[in-house]
Amino acid sequence: MKQTFDILSGGLLLLLLVGIPVYGYFKGVKVYAAFIEGAREGFNVALRVIPYLVAILAAMGAFREAGGMDALARVLSPVLTPLGLPPEVLPIALIRPFSGSGANGLLGDLFTRSGPDSYAGRLASIVVGSSETTFYVLSVYCGSVGIVKYRHALVAGLLTDATGLVASIIIARALWG
């Protein structure tokens, strides 16, 4: 069964990579020129987005390195531990809306300390998989097109992240708690 899916997915990928340019060619599109123009626009978008990314990553790194994340985890742990959220998972849940790579780095550290098969390791894995890098996404997408009033999108994104965290705790407690 897996081999069948591997063949089908490989064929589909090949069809897309070859089919789209061939279709464009028959429609009279200068495929290579269109590709180069798209790459140029992508590069320009990246240049506009870089300041937003640097600002978010610098602020998050400063907060974490100054000990703010650990202090917050210590303060909240008496409340969150009985609910099924160990203090070592809280920094991952808090950093994930800002940075996926930061959350993955903390996840790796957690795996080293507690093990991937521990309750904290499994919960953290679910948290990372069920949440989004909300601030990163908003800064990239809204920043690239010049949108500065995105408060409703921010609220929706943070509510989604909170829902993912609660669902992660419920699932982890049901399976391993």
Taking every pair of C-alpha atoms in the chain, what is the biggest distance, in angstroms? 66
Mind listing the pLDDT tens digit for each residue in 33-75? 998 998 898 888 778 778 877 877 788 778 888 988 889 888 9
Residues in the chain: 177
pLDDT on residue 172: 96
Question: pTM for the full model?
Answer: 0.70
pLDDT on residue 157: 93
Residues lower than pLDDT 70 in the chain: none
Tokens of 42: 């992508």
Tokens of 36: 């180069």
CA distances (Å), origin 21, targets 11, 36, 41, 85, 126: 16, 13, 19, 49, 38
CA distances (Å), origin 140, targets 25, 70, 135, 161: 32, 28, 8, 18
pLDDT on residue 133: 92
